[in-house]
Every structure is written in structure tokens, then in C-alpha cells.
Amino acid sequence: MHGRGCITYGVSGCNGSYDGQWECGKIQGEGELVSPSGVRSPGVFDNNLREGPGVHTSSSGSVYDGTWSGGVMHGGGLVKYADGSGYEGQWHAGTMEGSGTARDNRGRTME
């Protein structure tokens, strides 16, 4: 597959999809991945992995808006959890690392 296209996958009526750019049969470029559980990930993909800026909304309602590298959160980003807490700052290989500010669900902050 090469160019723009959509694929739907799943088992027993529990479907996910990808709608966006493809190159040589791999997810490559801008698109949106939606998992069977409702996780939504619009953004840029490289060799089937998230890369660069993008948003990720989990089925629990948490939202990450920031930079990706190799399919994980890496660089600057903001995560807001369903309970109102969150973190804004640096990420390294999918974990909070470096400077940043955490906020609990009552609005109290920690740096």
C-alpha cells in the first residue's frame, strides 16, 4: 500500500482503524490510529511508530499532547488525566524526566 488509505482491523466486531498516509505497506506520515478500545492517536507516524508532534487520547480519558520519538512520549509534552491531575514538562523514553510541573486534581502544583 502506498499513498493515502484506510484500514480497519479487529476480531468479533471489536474494530480499530488507521486512516492516513502509507509508504511501502507501512504507516508513514500523517494519519489517525484508533484502537478497538477507543484510544485515538492523530499525528505523524514513521515506520509504524508515532514520531514528532501529536495527541493521544486514552480510553480512560487521559490526553497527552506533545512530542513522540520511536513510538513513545519524548521531549516536551502535557498530559491531563481524567481526574483533573496532570503534568507539563519533559519526557524521556516514555517517562517524566527533566524539568516539569505536576498538578494534582485539586490544582496544587509541584515542580
pLDDT in tens, 17-75: 999 999 998 999 999 999 888 889 999 999 999 999 999 999 899 999 999 999 999 99
Look up the pTM and report it: 0.83
pLDDT, mean of residues 10-18: 79
pLDDT of residue 14: 73
pLDDT, mean of residues 66-85: 96
pLDDT of residue 12: 65
Candidates 80, 87, 81; CA nearest to 103 is 87
Query: Within a 13 Å sphere around the CA of 2, how many CA atoms are in the beta-carbon half?
Result: 1
- The CA–CA distances, whole Å, from 93 to 28, 45, 67 equal 21, 16, 11
